[in-house]
Amino acid sequence: MQFKSMVLSNVEVSPGYFRMRMTAPQELLESSPGQFLMLKVVDAIDPLLRRPFGLFDVGTFAPEYAGCGTQCYTEILYKVVGKGTKMLSALHHGDLVDLLTPLGKGFAAGPAGEEKVLVGGGIGLAPLYYLAKDLVMKGEKVRLFAGGRNRDDILCITEFERLGVETYVSTDDGTLGERGLVTQVLEQHLGSGMRIFACGPTPMLKAVALMAQSHGVPCQVSMEAGMACGVGACLGCVLKGANHTDETPDYRCVCKDGPVFDSFELQWS
């Protein structure tokens, strides 16, 4: 669905990273963790195309927002990297954006009773919070492995901990948590009876997918890709499927077939 949304807050949560809350229709409460939205600033001509963002959270307002004309909200996390996200960082309460959401395929929680292991790198933590919230509400045991280059890339850990999620943090330079890659920390804790959900840079996802395969652990990955349309029309976010060869092409659209895939669906070579 497409709708106009009002910005409620837009806060810098770490240097260069922002958390934006916007109004949303009640139907968005039916969205799934791992789905995404396409956003455009109302009346803005440049940039022309919408920008994709994973759903960080969806919920209902506290009483103080009762005058907004809706009782629902959605949130995104984003990093300022170019003209579009710099424009977003300048928005304030009351500004309008145009949203197209919910889009794509989200995470499948899997059987009850498994330990749910979330692995995120940098802005990849965004869809994992919505997932963690959903899993905790279902009574699942959840652990989070969060990684980044330095402490500035570790986002919203307090929010995960408030849910009761056991967290492990690592940074490349050792400024927060353990020194090293998040996959190194993850490997120390892998075992049977787990299911992995990962989102972050492609090299991290590849390492997690191959590690999960070697341990026989089910794994879902949320892929990041540049998108122009968000609905599979432009074919600008195509990845190679696991069965792809030059003779028998196997392509998957991140926006339509994903962004969440079982790790065995994709070609990691």
pLDDT per residue of the chain (269 residues) written in tens, 0 to 9: 999 999 999 999 999 999 999 999 999 999 999 999 999 987 766 666 788 999 999 999 765 555 556 689 999 999 999 888 999 999 999 999 999 999 999 999 999 989 999 999 889 999 999 999 999 999 999 999 999 999 999 999 999 999 999 999 999 999 999 999 999 999 999 988 999 999 999 999 999 999 999 999 999 999 988 787 888 888 889 999 988 888 899 999 999 999 999 999 999 97
User: What is the per-residue pLDDT for 122?
Assistant: 87
DSSP SS3 for 259: strand
Backbone angles phi, psi at 30, to 5 degrees: -90, 0
153 in Cβ contact with 14 (< 8 Å): yes
User: What is the per-residue pLDDT for 44?
Assistant: 66
CB-facing half-sphere around the CA of 84: CA atoms within 13 A: 17
217 in Cβ contact with 195 (< 8 Å): yes
CA-CA distance, 190 to 192, in Å (whole number)? Answer: 7
Residue with tokens 């837009």: 10
| Helix count and strand count (H, E) for the chain | 5, 16
| Distance in Å from the first CA to the final CA of the chain | 36
Structure-token pair, residue 13? 């949560």
**Does the global pTM surpass 0.75?**
yes
CA-CA distance, 51 to 37, in Å (whole number)? Answer: 8
Element (H, E) at 179: strand 178-179
Domains in the chain: ranges and CATH: 2-101 (2.40.30.10), 115-222 (3.40.50.80)
User: What is the per-residue pLDDT for 63?
Assistant: 55
DSSP SS3 for 130: helix
Backbone angles phi, psi at 134, to 5 degrees: -65, -45
| DSSP string of 26-64, one letter each residue | GGGGG--TT-EEEEEETT--SS-S-EEEE--EEEE--GG
CA-based nearest residue to 242, from 197, 207, 209: 209
User: 59-90 burial, b for 16+ CB within 10 Å, e for fewer?
Assistant: bebeeebeeeebbbbbbbbbbbeeebbeebbe
132 in Cβ contact with 118 (< 8 Å): yes
169 in Cβ contact with 176 (< 8 Å): yes
CA-based nearest residue to 164, from 181, 187, 141: 141
Amino acid at 128: L
| Widest Cα–Cα separation across the chain | 60
